[in-house]
């Protein structure tokens, strides 16, 4: 498994973890009760320059957790993913069961996210990791490191899907998959990827650094 996938290609893993207890804690009601007044740091949904905005978690859920506007630029779209205070959110994260696979010499770091339907992160790359959907469905688009995707860094994934994706010849289309609750995607180092939340989604990534 390590030799076949860890450095060469993405793979979807099913049934490798049981996060039913974590999922029960991630309902809207439970999260608002536990973390509503706490500040969360939002990032803009663009590729190369990130603006950070701090708001109370309850404000994000009640005001900003909306379906993606296709006409809105990535720099104007706020996204809750990754910038979590582990001390404040540790009571939740301790219930998460990560995938039971490791790459020698790496250690895991968690990034928790909640996002509205049609939202997502445009194409970018970083080190290897796993992504698990807790609620909702998430569509992924992936290219190997030697294939740079056609995209505008300030265009949302939804706009790219509507405008650029249909024009791509079959040989230039990305690998694709849709993750459902309980499924985990492993992505290798430096693979380009973009995500699109098909529903209001809760998800956890485990980055191996």
> The domain that contains 83 carries what CATH number?
2.60.120.650
pTM of the model: 0.94
Q: What is the DSSP letter of 74?
A: G
Residue whose entry in the numeric block shows the structure tokens 């990032």:
43
Range of the domain at 202: 1-208
Residues ≥6 apart with Cβ < 8 Å to 170:
none
What's the total number of domains in the chain? 1
Q: What is each CA distance from 198 to 41, 67, 131, 175, in whole angstroms?
A: 23, 10, 15, 17
Per residue in 95-148, pLDDT (tens digit) is 999 999 988 889 999 999 999 999 999 999 999 999 999 999 999 999 999 999
Dihedral of the alpha carbons of 96, 47, 114, 88, in degrees to the nearest 10: 60
pLDDT in tens, the chain (209 residues): 555 677 789 999 999 999 999 999 999 999 999 999 999 999 999 988 778 999 999 999 999 999 999 999 999 999 999 888 778 899 999 999 999 998 888 999 999 999 999 999 999 999 999 999 999 999 999 999 999 999 999 999 999 999 999 999 999 999 999 999 999 999 999 999 999 999 999 999 999 98
């Amino acid at each position: 498994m390590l030799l076949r996938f860890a450095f060469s290609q993405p793979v979807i893993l099913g049934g490798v973890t049981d996060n039913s207890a974590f999922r029960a804690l991630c309902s809207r009601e439970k999260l608002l009760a536990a973390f509503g007044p706490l500040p969360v740091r939002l990032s803009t949904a663009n590729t190369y320059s990130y603006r950070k905005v701090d708001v109370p978690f309850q404000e994000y859920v009640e005001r900003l957790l909306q379906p993606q506007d296709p006409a809105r630029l990535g720099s104007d779209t706020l996204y809750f993913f990754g910038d979590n205070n582990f001390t404040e959110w540790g009571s939740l994260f301790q219930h998460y069961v990560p995938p039971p696979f490791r790459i020698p010499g790496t250690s895991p770091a968690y990034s928790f996210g909640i996002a509205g339907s049609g939202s997502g992160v445009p194409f970018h790359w970083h080190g290897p990791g796993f992504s698990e959907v807790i609620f909702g469905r998430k569509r992924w688009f992936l290219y190997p490191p030697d294939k740079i995707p056609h995209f505008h860094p300030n265009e949302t994934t939804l706009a790219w899907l509507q405008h650029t994706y249909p024009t791509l010849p079959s040989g230039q289309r990305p690998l694709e998959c849709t993750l459902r609750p309980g499924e985990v995607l492993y992505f290798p180092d430096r693979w380009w990827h973009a995500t699109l939340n098909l529903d209001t989604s809760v998800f956890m990534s485990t980055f191996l650094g």
